[in-house]
A and B are shown apart, each in its own frame.
Chain A
Amino acid sequence: MALVLTEEQSMLRDSARGLISDKAPVAHLRGLRDSKDATGFSRELWKTFAEMGFSGLLVPDQFGGSGLGCVEAGIVMEEIGRTLMPSPFLATSVLAASALSRGGSEAQKAQHLPKIADGSLLAALAIDEGAKHRPLQTKLQATRAGNGFKLSGDKAFVVDGHTADLLIVAARSAGSAGDKNGLTLFLVDPKARGIAVERTAMVDSHNAARIVFGNVEVNADSVLGEVDQGLGLLEGVLNIGRGAVASEMVGLSDEVFGRTVAYLKERKQFGKAIGEFQALQHRAAELYIDIEITRAAVLKALQALDTDIAKAATAVSVAKARAGTTATLAVQEGVQMHGGMGMTDQFDIGFFMKRARVCQELFGDSNYHTDQLASGKGY
């Protein structure tokens, strides 16, 4: 498979870019932040996403979706990264759609996937518990009770957790923190008794929540996949999410870079454009190279996910690790090269810096994935 976009994929990119840059430039995020919008994204825009087929992009045809792959999801995420549009796309259309279509029973798929595709169902994946992403350390307890389970524990950093109609929750049904066996995924109604959702305002003005589960009763039908054997499904879904967030970071990095290079050509000091100074030229060139190499690594990972997800882990770790360091470099250089203007809230660059920091943490930062790569290679 060639490591370039096909004609169809380029067309998808163009239509996503057209819509997102038109309807949701950075000013869109700024407006939601300044008005302390209760939803934190535009439901109207989400409707348009559904009409254009984006919300059901990963949903199989027979459930009303487009049945496309991770490369296509990455294309949309990259465009989202360019304008930092807050959107249910990641939590609902990437994570939940993947979890359901890969691990769901026929009944679960039939119940939820068509609603994801038509934009009427919002979902969220509840994984993290501590300050850092450590899925194996999941402690939220699932105790057998009657025909089902009782869930108790805390989740944090649940993307879109405050607007979700459906939660997908990773819980420990056997063993103890750190064990590979004993993880189970559950489909949970956030309105169920015992659930407390606290929307957490984050540095990037995107949406996240802390959710407390206090003896929440769920029946046996709510298990997604197999009891105690949820890790394989979870890792697959997380890897798809990691590829998607890496794509978002490529879009984010590229946009910051473009704005920064434009500023280097326009800003004059000492009687000339600051882009004439070799000290800045070389840093700009290094950043360009870094972004292009990361772009290739991310596309490689997305293709690997579509080809054979079971063999994609290393490529995904490379992509997420690279995207994290590249985005960090891009936003730091972006702010620095914009000088004092880069420090102002009025300038958009700061929004990119804040979002990059959050994307780093989502589903494992660069350190986590670099460590995963080393462990995977056995050293």
Chain B
Amino acid sequence: MADLEKFRAETRAWLEQNCPPEMRKPMTSDGDTFWGGRNTKFSSEAQRVWFERMRDKGWTVPHWPKEYGGGGLDGEEAKIVRQEMAAIGARQPLTSFGISMLGPALLKYGTEEQKKEHLPKITAGLIRWCQGYSEPNAGSDLASLQTRAVGDGDDYIINGQKIWTSYANYADWIFCLVRTDPAAKKHDGISFILFDMASKGVSTKPILLISGYSPFCETFFDNVRVPKSHVVGTVNRGWDVAKYLLQHERAMISGMGERGVGRPLGQIAADSVGTDAQGKLDDSQLRSQIANFEVDEAALAAAAERAVDLAKAGQSHPAFSSAMKYYGTELNKRRYEILMSAGGIDALEWESDRSKGGARPRAWLRTKANSIEGGTSEVMLGIVAKRILDLPGA
């Protein structure tokens, strides 16, 4: 315990000294997130300094082993780093699907060679990854995916199409589900494979969404040649890797609402609807909605903390991330419905400088995907019913 308190004091002092003031302000635009990758640029000098200091300390991913560029911290220490970063409002120095999704799967299923090849490039922000899971005819029924990988000597030749590939147009590499045995039952013929997006035959096409942005792409594979050694885990057992990775994806998505939260909702609402003589919001229904939301938000934060602690204690259910994903995404949608209501007509402007290019309504529309991406809310409830509650026939 004394050691942990010492670690906390050292962490606090180090962050105080090394986190630039600009990196302690709430994020206001997409550019404030640093994703890394071959073609990346820093949006500010402070962002570069912060990233490089954290990278050099191993704290872009504090809990990964040191030999892969992580900080080698145990669960308690990593929690302290998170808490101390949150205490000063420090931004994440690096955000990536390599950290939140691929990394955990590689640590569990990858060969030593694969880990040494890929993990250090993730922690150092050198390679940006994207996820090739969904296909036009494989959404909630993901295991029916049809992208084919056919053996050709030491390689596979990959043909097919992925969809909803987040930031595929900016990504350097892809972790991808492909069908390696079309004769097997649908869950048993899938492999999990890694390849360079610069490979011949890969192309991407952004999809324009209701927000006016294109965070997702269609991704096409036309005779893409990939070495067989790039399969992670056992050939035709990719579904195991896919599911394990999804647990981490769902945990990440459930926490989306916590990212870059700036001023409290009550204050944001006070700006537009005003307050009465006692300082209460001049819209009692809105006040109730916000308060109910904040009760649930605080409870979810406790549940997220507990989920991590339970995992550490070996007491967590592997499907619990589906429960968190369901609740977290529905809550985030509620947050943005409240923000839109609080903003009134000011929140309807789509293009002006005053509205930062319609930042709020665009973010509102973006949240509607939360309960679809990474498994719909209905799929999450089905998983909880089947795997946790053991209900029949689910």
Contact = CB atoms under 8 A, between A and B. Distances in A.
A281 B394 contact: yes
User: Residue among A288, A314, A370 with the most chain B CB within 10 A?
Assistant: A370
B394 A289 contact: no
A3 B391 contact: no
Interface string B322-347: 01001100000000000000000000
Nearest to B326: A289
Interface residues of B, number: 48
A373 B289 CA distance: 12
A76 interface: no
Contact of A377 (B264, B300, B384): B264
Contact of A297 (B288, B299, B394): B299
Contacts of B303: 292-293, 295-297
A109 B326 CA distance: 49
A261 interface: yes
Interface residues of A, number: 42
Contacts of A379: 264, 266-267, 269-270, 275, 279-281, 287, 290
A110 to B, nearest CB: 33
Contacts of A272: 392-393
Contacts of B281: 379
A299 B302 contact: yes
A115 B131 CA distance: 65
B242 to A, nearest CB: 22
A276 B394 contact: yes
A339 interface: no
Interface stretch (A124-132, A222-230, A316-324): A316-324
Contacts of B382: 278, 281-282, 285
A379 B390 CA distance: 43
Contacts of B310: 4
Interface in B352-394: 378, 380-382, 384-386, 388-394
B392 A265 contact: yes
B389 A261 contact: yes
A295 B266 CA distance: 26
Contacts of A377: 264, 266, 294
A362 B149 CA distance: 63
B381 A3 contact: no
Contacts of A190: none
A289 B384 CA distance: 9
Interface of B: 76, 264, 266-267, 269-270, 275, 279-281, 287-288, 290-292, 294-296, 298-300, 302-303, 305-306, 309-310, 312-313, 315, 320, 323, 326-327, 378, 380-382, 384-386, 388-394
Interface of A: 2-4, 261, 264-265, 272-273, 275-276, 278, 281-282, 284-286, 288-289, 292-297, 299-300, 314-315, 317-319, 321-322, 369-371, 373-375, 377-379
